[in-house]
């Protein structure tokens, strides 16, 4: 008589079968390359007949010392992308949360504005970013008199006035810089926020209206419901959005570090590329672990 498997064992096996495509892909295209990258970063790789058609020699830390000590381009790019991230993440998350709260209200034309705010997902990815660094047209736009009303020339003057105003108000310099940079950088911020806006709208919609009703019955104001209901309820999504924005900032194709690694891969300088990739990944993972550990304590989980 055939042995009948228990339901639990059956479930386990179906779990393996459903996840099999990714499991195979992950072994071959993620785990194996990851281990190889770590190994390669300690070697010097030349065309040859060894493993996968290359020869490996000169084991040691020479790749790492080359990219961190001897040359400065990679180091500078890493620090630049770190500072950019430190500035971008809070601005993007706060902006996205604000836009999502506005788009979550009921008013005419909401659908239109929603689709416009998600549009950057499409029009500011990959090739378009590369192609839009469109030297000539944008320079005509900003310097030519005929565009001065809407061109960036006018925008710079406005932010200048704004900046002196803020400085006169004795606001700390770094805050002034932050505000002025965000204003002149608005198109970048809008395009980076698109996914976070979707995440936040989803979160705000999933809060049950009965919680708000109950609090209004008890006499709470809108201000109070925002701080005591909306914010805690979407706080897990703030964590998600922070993590997504960090990863997006570090791994975006217009990130300088990624461009450098990519160039090295195309030049078949696999050893240097691996060393760069490994150092960069370690930095990303360290930052994500720290952010997660800190924010996870603040996040409110409704269970």
Residues in region 57-96 near another protein by CB under 8 A: none
Among 42, 74, 97, 250, binds another protein (CB under 8 A): 250
Mark residues 27-56: x for contact with another protein by CB under 8 A, - for none: -xxxxxxx-xx--x-----------xxx--
Instruction: Give least dist CB 260 to another protein, A.
Output: 9
Q: Which two tokens stand for residue 302?
A: 């409704």
Among 69, 102, 154, 231, binds another protein (CB under 8 A): 102
Cβ atoms within 10 Å of 33's Cβ, excluding its own? 13
Strand pairing category for 44-47 and 54-57? antiparallel
Provide DSSP, 189-242: HHHHHHHHHHHHHHHHHTS-HHHHHHHHHTT--HHHHIIIIIHHHHHHHHHHHH
Instruction: Give least dist CB 223 to another protein, A.
Output: 14
Among 5, 23, 60, 267, binds another protein (CB under 8 A): 23
**E strands in 14-82:** 44-47, 54-57
Shorter beta-carbon distance to another protein: residue 70 or 303? 303
- Indicate the DSSP class of residue 126: T
From 69-77, 164-172, 224-232, 236-244, give the range in contact with another protein by CB under 8 A: 236-244
Among 4, 146, 170, 297, binds another protein (CB under 8 A): 146
List, in sequence order, the alpha helices (H) in 68-185.
Answer: 73-104, 110-118, 120-123, 127-132, 135-143, 152-168, 173-184
Phi, psi of 3 (to 5 degrees): -75, 130
Examine residue 299 and tell whether it contacts another protein (CB under 8 A). no
Examine residue 231 and tell whether it contacts another protein (CB under 8 A). no
Mark residues 164-203: x for contact with another protein by CB under 8 A, - for none: ----------------------xx--xx------xx-xxx
**Rounded alpha-carbon distances, angstroms, from residue 178 to 52, 95, 134, 172:** 49, 13, 26, 10
C-alpha 15, offset from chain centre:
31
Among 69, 80, 86, 121, binds another protein (CB under 8 A): 121
Task: Pick out residues in 202-221 that bind another protein (CB under 8 A).
Answer: 202-203, 205-206
Among 82, 85, 141, 291, binds another protein (CB under 8 A): 141
Shorter beta-carbon distance to another protein: residue 158 or 172? 158
């Amino acid at each position: 008589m055939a042995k009948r498997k228990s339901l639990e064992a059956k479930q386990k096996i179906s779990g393996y079968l459903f996840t099999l495509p990714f499991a195979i892909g992950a072994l071959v295209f993620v785990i194996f390359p990851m281990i190889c990258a770590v190994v390669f970063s300690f070697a010097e790789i030349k065309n040859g007949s060894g493993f996968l058609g290359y020869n490996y020699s000169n084991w040691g830390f020479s790749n790492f010392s080359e990219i961190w000590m001897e040359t400065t381009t990679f180091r500078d790019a890493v620090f630049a992308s770190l500072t950019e991230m430190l500035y971008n993440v809070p601005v993007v998350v706060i902006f996205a949360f604000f836009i999502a709260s506005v788009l979550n209200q009921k008013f005419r034309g909401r659908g239109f504005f929603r689709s416009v705010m998600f549009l950057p997902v499409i029009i500011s990815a990959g090739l378009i970013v590369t192609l839009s660094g469109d030297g000539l047209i944008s320079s005509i736009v900003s310097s030519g008199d005929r565009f001065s009303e809407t061109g960036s020339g006018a925008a710079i003057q406005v932010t200048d006035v704004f900046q002196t105003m803020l400085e006169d108000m004795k606001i700390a310099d770094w805050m002034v810089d932050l505000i002025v940079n965000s204003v002149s950088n608005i198109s970048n911020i809008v395009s980076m926020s698109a996914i976070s806006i979707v995440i936040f709208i989803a979160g705000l919609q999933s809060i049950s209206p009965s919680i708000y009703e109950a609090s209004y019955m008890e006499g709470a104001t809108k201000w109070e419901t925002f701080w005591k209901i909306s914010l805690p309820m979407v706080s897990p999504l703030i964590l998600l959005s922070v993590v997504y924005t960090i990863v997006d900032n570090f791994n975006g194709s217009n990130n300088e570090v990624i461009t450098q690694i990519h160039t090295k891969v195309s030049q078949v300088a696999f050893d240097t590329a691996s060393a760069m990739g490994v150092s960069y990944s370690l930095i990303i993972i360290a930052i994500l672990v720290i952010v997660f550990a800190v924010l996870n304590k603040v996040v409110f989980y409704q269970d």
